[in-house]
Structure 1
Amino acid sequence: MTIPIAGRRLRLLHVEDSDLDHQLMLAQLQRGGLQVECQRLDSREAFAQALDQPWDAIISDFNLPGFSGLVVLEMLKASGRLIPFILVSGEIGEDTAVEAMRNGASDYLLKNNLARLAPALVHAIEAAEAQRARKRADEELVRSKQRLHELAGHLQTSVERERAAIAREIHDDVGGSLTALKFDLAWIARHAESDAILQRANSALETVTSAIEASQRVMHNLRPAILEQGLVAAVQWMAGRFDRRTGISTVFTTSHEQVQLPPGVPLVAYRMAQEALTNISKHAEATRVDIELSVAGGVLTVEVKDNGRGIASGDLAKARSFGIRGLHERAATVGGWVDLSSTPAGTSLILSVPLTPDAAHNAEDGSLNKTEHDPSAWGTQ
């Protein structure tokens, strides 16, 4: 619980060369109902040494031996400490007062009008404490966002690892068993002695073949092994497969046939394009999709654009609209970002990822761009 200013003993630093003026100031503060513990000093060196102590406020004369109150203010600013500063002077011009306020002074007073000193001091201290509280809150908010970002990156990595494990199990166990079963059924079909057995065997072969194709499709969705051929080949394959499956004309263009990318980036780009195509097939009512992959200025750009009905602003603001948020978080794990624009004539989703050496440092621990774990490589875990 914060003690009110009037009920606290305030620690003040008074930069003043006149002991009489110092005593007048103390008397004025006491008359204003404030309890103070005040230290007076009148040299620049003494002020520099005293600045490290915990002061509630600094009150400074303007005219000082060999320096001025504005110098005191500059020294306070250079220290980076958030301490309220009040400038007091026998004579102070309007230009000087404006300069002091512009440089961060809380208030300025004339020595012949110290009646306002106590309320001005209370107001300055309260304003400084509120500013410090806001700064602490902002810093905590930044730390909280950082922790959430790190958690999102960790979750993305965990999901990809789990997908890889499931895909390997399907490939090794389910796929292997279905392939062996297919060979057995083919042998039975070749040695069938009746048309009924042959018909059943051929029907079972068709079922097993469909199951193998389904398992391969699930494996590709869980873990795109095509990424071993590079991002360009993977996105080109995905575009062709989407065209055939949905009947939506899908055109893929690229500025490079081969692109050397940092670890983690290929999978992020692939998943972004995959998510965009999934949303297009579900919601866009589009007849054409254009996918463009380019590298220019050290930045990888992947754009997926359709000619569908667009996305309503209300849909983006839905509380459970996690698709776009997930894309933003996934892009951030490799130091990238996602831009979404939509009109009634279509939607454009753009992923941008800097490929400079420093880009990897933008992702936090546990993100997808860690060199010890590259989720874009098949079977590395």
Structure 2
Amino acid sequence: MSSDHIKMVIGIDDTDSREGMCTTYLGALLMDELSSFCKHTGDPLLIRLNPTIPYKTRGNASVAFCVECREPDEVIDHVVSRISSLAELDCENTNPGVVFVLETDFTETKTELGDFFRSAVKDVIVIDEAKALAGKLGLTFRAFKNGRGLIGALAACGAMLNPGWDHSYEYLTYRKKELWGTPRFVDSNSLYEADESTYPETWDSVDRANRVAVCVPRSPDPVLYGIRGNSRQAVSKAVELIRSEDTERSCIYKTNQGTDMHLLRATCIDDICEMHSYILEGTVETAANTIKGGHSIFVLSDDSGKTIDCAAFEPTKNFRDVIRRLIPGDRIVVYGSVMDVTLNIEKINILSLAQMSEKRNPECPSCGKRMKSAGAEQGYRCKKCGTSAQDPETVSLERNIEKGFYEVPPCARRHLAKPLARFKVSDAVLFPGR
């Protein structure tokens, strides 16, 4: 591009609803449409925000991309017009926002937008904060309805201007419009073949233990399937192996999915706040209690004695078996989000296991057989040899669990949660259910 072209970052959020549309689709569509009079630079971004926010539409994702153009106003008008016509504006919870950051403002806005990006992933931000920041920085933006989408749009721009964060990639394919809302055709055997060929460089395409095609959504949105992986090459290789209905378009996004970016490290339970996500070390205080609905909940205590309920909800399937094997005294680290004073577990690291034992009638030292009770408070007696003992024998039991990491299955994993497949080999993790 010649020197009279200017770079511009465009951030978009909250254009979808539970009934349709997808912000990543709108981003891909706009990039294709703008390519006739703009040049795209760098990878487009798919940014997942704080997963505990209750007023999110579906995946709480925003997108951003960077273009070089001669007429920024032309680009702005086109993007605003297309959001106006394509966003699910009739839905009460859909409140789009779009932000435009010109190259002349990159330096002055970079730091504050970067801080805002990290806060939007970890903390709770209100709409007025986003509007105030956009106004303070003098950015061009458009807020539709209450403008909640400005939060994600600003965050995505901040991610684009501050690229040094851990990232992965997602190859998203989109359906032809006439097929939206109809049953999807993606050959399940090809998904398992692609997973077998590319795992662990790609992950969460399928859930082998629960026989679920995780990468194929069930909602009536434009996405056909999405493949997540460590590199553009890995996700592209997997897609080459997948057999499906014809697609309208596709896009590879750089993303913060699978990074644990949402997690804060809590030194104690007093540090914990609602609608935030944490890494917390503690000691199992009670064995798990499975309640109606199949949810398994145990109490975790910190070193000060404060406690919090930790839950493996029914959708975590076989992960609950791990939780049910924990006993008081086990030392663990839990990873997860706090809602309603309960930590929703995404994975755990078992640091040490408490000894489990039971009391048995003692063995006879002469014949080796178990003694019988001699009566209340009268100890034990061997009927054959006549030997006696006063106290029962304490026997250590083998634990049906090992130290190490355990994670929820792919069918229950949150977008931001880092799968064990992305952990370093030196972490010596376990892969239950793979």
Normalised by the length of structure 2, the TM-score is 0.20
Greater relative contact order: 1 or 2 (C-alpha under 8 angstroms, separation 6 or more)? Answer: 2
Of structures 1 and 2, the larger Rg is shown by: 1
